[in-house]
Structure 1
Amino acid sequence: MGGRVTATPAHARPGGPPLRVATLGYQTWGHRTLQALIDSDHEVVLAITHPKSEHVYEQMWADSVADLAAENGVPVHVANKPDDAFKAALAEAAPDIIVANNWRTWLPAEVFDAPKYGTLNIHDSLLPKYTGFSPLIWALINGEEEVGLTAHLMDEELDAGDIVLQRSTTVGPTDTVTDLFHRTIDMIGPITLDALDLIASGRTDWTPQDRSQATFFHKRAPQDSHVDWSWPAEVIERFVRAQSDPYPNAFAEFKGQRIRILKASVSRGHYGGTPGRVFIQEDDGMVIVAGPDAWSGKNKGLRIERVRLDDGSEYTAAEFFPHGGGYLT
């Protein structure tokens, strides 16, 4: 986390004039967007970013937009929301277009409509699905076969504007959210510059979103990482992969202490009883009974293979669960 992004070669555009671009961005997502624009032949006239935050999800992937802008002579404005100083800085910069990525607060139409070409937003989901927060985590939990990025024009509804471009990557059976983060973060520069090329060329035939297919997800909190053992084992297994390091891990309580589940898989056998029961060793793991109808004995269990405690110590399942008995809650 926090390392400098390696510069990519200057982008050779197929047509249309270079644009004056202002960016609204935060963390590594905003950093990658700004880096791509700096390396292109567009003129970056302003970078607006949020102040540093103590929120756990905002301390990860925390490459600094402000530092990158300052290192490259780009004017910087730091703000939480579009107040008068924000609007004045933007008006003085007079961009042809704003490019936003991971901007965290609401923008009024007087901001996103102000430039000639409006505002291009880069969102890390295949819209209209997974609008809002932490789309990669929720997509992996839900078993989506692919994830990706959408470059769309901003309007008054969150993540709802017309689509300029989409790019996707396949989700593999063992992919973690960290794997998906790295693959999608590498797509930011190309999709941003390709979308700007289309806009600069005069194209306006963008694809409206089918809002009947939209899903909106809230900002994650610690409780959202708590395992529910009434879920099917295959969902819990994805839930664990969706919260790989450095994200807050999936967790449960056992005998008064919190355990973070670092590695798990779906059991080979079918197991019955009460959800959350620490049941039996299978291969290199301990099977936990799971599922909405666990009493039927028709469900697979979750085979926990590695855990971490709050003090940072890690254990294999055999070390932490030498035998069955007790419940994870």
Structure 2
Amino acid sequence: MNQVNQHAVVFAYHDVGVYCLQALLDAGMHIDLVITHEDDPNENIWFGSVAKLCQENHIPYEIVERDQLLKLLPRLIALSPDYIFSFYYRFMIPVELLKVPKLAALNMHGSLLPKYRGRAPVNWAVLHGEVETGATLHVMEAKPDAGDIVDQIAVSIEIHETAHDVFNKVSNAAKRVIERVLPKLMKGEIPRSPNDLSRGNYYGGRKPEDGRIDWSQPAITIYNLIRAVAPPYPGAFTEFQGRVWILSKSSLPLIIETDLSPQVAQILKKSTPGLHLVDNRYFGLCGDGKVLELLSVEVQ
């Protein structure tokens, strides 16, 4: 199949959408239509704009609400694309649309499938203390993140990195995945390997309330929560002195007897788990008796 004849409809948003859409354009894929999201006025918009990229490249695009997606079916049938791509698109694409492309409907997911299927995969990976994640291009089916794997690239998660740091790495890995597999896709060839769902789990979306700190938990668990939801995400939080405090950065877990001064150690040994102000420094005493020094705090 001649690669100049490859046409696609793309559902895209966020940096992953920008990077992967640009990779399609660079490879010569003809983009018939892009579907993207309206920015949420309540969300911190720190990422690139798919709509802006479409405007700059004169690509037709539309913003379609979740309950309006099925109305795209006649238009997609008329376009008869070879591929549908989904790059960080936040709505489930109806199965009726996934059946339209002549070759395949492919989604880019921000984990090493089959691990961390579902929502917020980068945040969940950091929260669980993973040392590796990645980006996976896979075939879309009715069940989310369940189709065959086309290609994937791993990235490391360093112990000091926040979810934002890791997301940037995953976004770049997604671009490399697309660039690596595009020569085959442009020929109509779709590599496929099994996506063994028994080797991973499905995770739901995360809400700001999920950032509430439970100081009875071990220090490493709280440390991972803080970096998993650090800005630009809503942040981990706790109540202290009658107000809500956002905790954006902390030290690694500290041992009271060896890592703290005698004066600080003496006070914390007599304290209950929670946030404490000692010698003009903020410390979190955790359920396992270890301590986090809070390096970035903001009172609301």
Q: Give the structure-1-normalised TM-score.
A: 0.80
Work out which of the residue numbers 119, 141, 144 in structure 1 matches 2:130: 144
2:265 aligned residue: none
Work out which of the residue numbers 94, 98, 103 in structure 2 matches 1:112: 98
Rounded Cα–Cα distance in structure 2 between residues aligned with 1:140 and 1:64? 25
Instruction: Give secondary structure in 1 for the equivalent of 2:215.
Output: coil
Question: Which gives a bigger RCO, structure 1 or 2 (Cα 8 Å, sep 6+)?
Answer: 2
Rounded Cα–Cα distance in structure 2 between residues aligned with 1:248 and 1:277? 19
Letter in 1 for 2:122: L
Deviation of the 1:214 alpha carbon: 2.7
1:135 aligns with 2:125: no
- Map 1:2-151 onto structure 2 (within 5 A): 17-18=3-4, 19-56=6-43, 59-81=44-66, 83-151=69-137
Letter in 2 for 1:308: E
2:296 aligned residue: 306
1:290 aligned residue: 286
Kindly tell me: are residues 34 and 200 of structure 1, through their superposed partners in 2, closer, same or farther at Cα, counting changes over 3 Å?
closer
Rounded Cα–Cα distance in structure 2 between residues aligned with 1:200 and 1:41? 9
| Worse-superposed segment, 74-83 or 21-30 | 74-83
Deviation of the 1:201 alpha carbon: 4.3
CA RMSD in angstroms comes to 2.3
Kindly tell me: are residues 262 and 104 of structure 1, through their superposed partners in 2, closer, same or farther at Cα, counting changes over 3 Å?
closer
Rounded Cα–Cα distance in structure 1 between residues aligned with 2:240 and 2:184? 55
Q: Count matched residues.
A: 286
The answer to whether the 8 Å contact 2:112/2:135 transfers is: yes
The answer to whether the 8 Å contact 2:70/2:94 transfers is: no
Structure 1 residues 108-154: Cα deviation after superposition (integer angstroms, max 9, x where no partner) = 22211211112110011111111121111110110101111010000
Instruction: Give secondary structure in 2 for the equivalent of 1:60.
Output: coil
Structure 2 gaps of 5+ residues are 258-267
Deviation of the 1:62 alpha carbon: 4.0
1:318 aligned residue: none
Instruction: Give secondary structure in 2 for the equivalent of 1:35.
Output: helix
Structure 1 residues 71-97: Cα deviation after superposition (integer angstroms, max 9, x where no partner) = 212111221235354223322322100
Rounded Cα–Cα distance in structure 2 between residues aligned with 1:65 and 1:22? 13
Identity, in percent, stands at 32
Q: Give the structure-2-normalised TM-score.
A: 0.87
Rounded Cα–Cα distance in structure 1 between residues aligned with 2:103 and 2:46? 30
The answer to whether the 8 Å contact 2:70/2:97 transfers is: no
Letter in 2 for 1:182: N
The answer to whether the 8 Å contact 1:60/1:247 transfers is: no
1:268 aligned residue: 255
Instruction: Give secondary structure in 1 for the equivalent of 2:221.
Output: helix
Structure 1 residues 170-221: Cα deviation after superposition (integer angstroms, max 9, x where no partner) = 1112111121122121222221232333344454551111112232222221
Structure 1 gaps of 5+ residues are 1-14, 311-329
Rounded Cα–Cα distance in structure 2 between residues aligned with 1:134 and 1:22? 24
Rounded Cα–Cα distance in structure 2 between residues aligned with 1:224 and 1:124? 20
Rounded Cα–Cα distance in structure 2 between residues aligned with 1:217 and 1:74? 34
